[in-house]
Amino acid sequence: MPVNLTEYMDHYITIIEQEIAKQLEKLEIPKPLKDSMLYSMNAGGKRLRPILLIASYEAFAVDYHKVLSSGVALEMIHTYSLIHDDLPAMDNDDYRRGKLTNHKVFDEATAILAGDALLTYSFEVIVNDPLLVDKQKIEIIKLLSKTSGPNGMVAGQILDMQAENSEVTLQELEKIHELKTGELIKFAIYTGAYLGNATKDQLQYLEEFAYYLGLIFQVQDDILDVTGDEQKLGKRIGSDEKSMKSTYPRLLGIDGAIELKQRYVARAKNALKKAKVEDSYLMDLTEHFSKRDH
């Protein structure tokens, strides 16, 4: 069994990627669509969301097999959102993770369909999981559609587009991040704890934890856009740099952004203590989210 966080993450990245391959390889669909789905699913994502989901489950239970389908489904939705976000009609990016974006390798129509296919196939993956009972499948699909759809990530994306080239307040910025990034993190934490049979109180504290973890992720993302090695190497120039979009460093200065992040780290850890899971890998992952360098 893995001991430190790096070993833990590497161990589960391998397992998650094997399951992604298993779920995609069995699709009997036209080759360009399958190639396009596989291209983005295997383009070097960090797999943070499925790892969070497994860590949340393992704070309460053993045998990760029960959460694999939810983790893979979540990574599919995350990947669809990135494919669509990179399209000319949205951010119009040529590169992601140092590689050509999906629509640059394939064509725009295929990229749109690959995103659509990953979104919808994610629900099928959960429905087909023999380790879940119907009640669990309904609960997971209910939360996945809520957090990724018009009450979650998609709402965050449109608010983000509306905020393009305009000054927003810190409160408005945090609402955008809560929806655009935070909701999928909430799905990861909540689903793991739910399938691990956490109590109602614990679920509530973990929701608080997920909220702060989402914001930590985003503050660090904004900080990396200013200070990160990838930025220096020219690999990380995204829409935020090209536009005058508000970011934490722009609103608070770099020191203010770092200070705010530390406050959120303390609140996230406190929520884990209240949920009585401070000895889990969620604690280490909080530090990892706060200090990640890419």
Task: State the Cα–Cα distance between residues 148 and 273, nearest whole angstrom.
Answer: 28
User: How far does CA 278 lie from the centroid of its chain?
Assistant: 22
Q: Give the SS3 label for residue 99.
A: strand
Least gap, CB of 154 to ligand GRG (angstroms): 5
Number of Cβ within 10 Å of residue 88's Cβ equals 11
Number of residues that bind ligand GRG (CB under 6 A): 15
Is 242 one of the binding residues for ligand GRG (CB under 6 A)?
A: no
Least gap, CB of 240 to ligand GRG (angstroms): 8
Among 46, 65, 263, 273, binds ligand GRG (CB under 6 A): 46
Binding mask 60-99 for ligand GRG (x = CB under 6 A): ---------------------xx-xx-----------x--
Q: Which stretch binds ligand GRG (CB under 6 A): 17-25, 43-51, 58-66, 255-263?
A: 43-51
Closest to ligand GRG by CB, 132 vs 179, is: 179
Is 45 one of the binding residues for ligand GRG (CB under 6 A)?
A: yes
Is 288 one of the binding residues for ligand GRG (CB under 6 A)?
A: no
Between residue 132 and residue 161, which ones bind ligand GRG under the rule CB under 6 A? 153-154, 157
Least gap, CB of 160 to ligand GRG (angstroms): 7
Burial class, 62, CB count within 10 angstroms (exposed 0-12 / middle 13-18 / buried 19+)? exposed
Closest to ligand GRG by CB, 72 vs 82, is: 82
Task: State the Cα–Cα distance between residues 106 and 131, nearest whole angstrom.
Answer: 36
Is 40 one of the binding residues for ligand GRG (CB under 6 A)?
A: no
Least gap, CB of 107 to ligand GRG (angstroms): 18
Are the CB atoms for 281 and 208 separated by under 8 Å? no
CA angle 113, 116, 120 (to 5 degrees): 140
Is 221 one of the binding residues for ligand GRG (CB under 6 A)?
A: yes
Q: Which stretch binds ligand GRG (CB under 6 A): 45-53, 167-175, 205-213, 261-269?
A: 45-53
Number of Cβ within 10 Å of residue 63's Cβ equals 9
Least gap, CB of 49 to ligand GRG (angstroms): 7
Query: Among all chains, which residue has been given the structure tokens 């770099």?
Result: 254
Are the CB atoms for 91 and 240 separated by under 8 Å? no
169: nearest Cα among 159, 157, 184, 182: 159
User: How far does CA 170 lie from the centroid of its chain?
Assistant: 22
Least gap, CB of 119 to ligand GRG (angstroms): 9
40: nearest Cα among 88, 89, 75, 90: 75
Residues making contact with ligand GRG (CB under 6 A): 45-46, 48, 81-82, 84-85, 97, 153-154, 157, 180-181, 221, 238
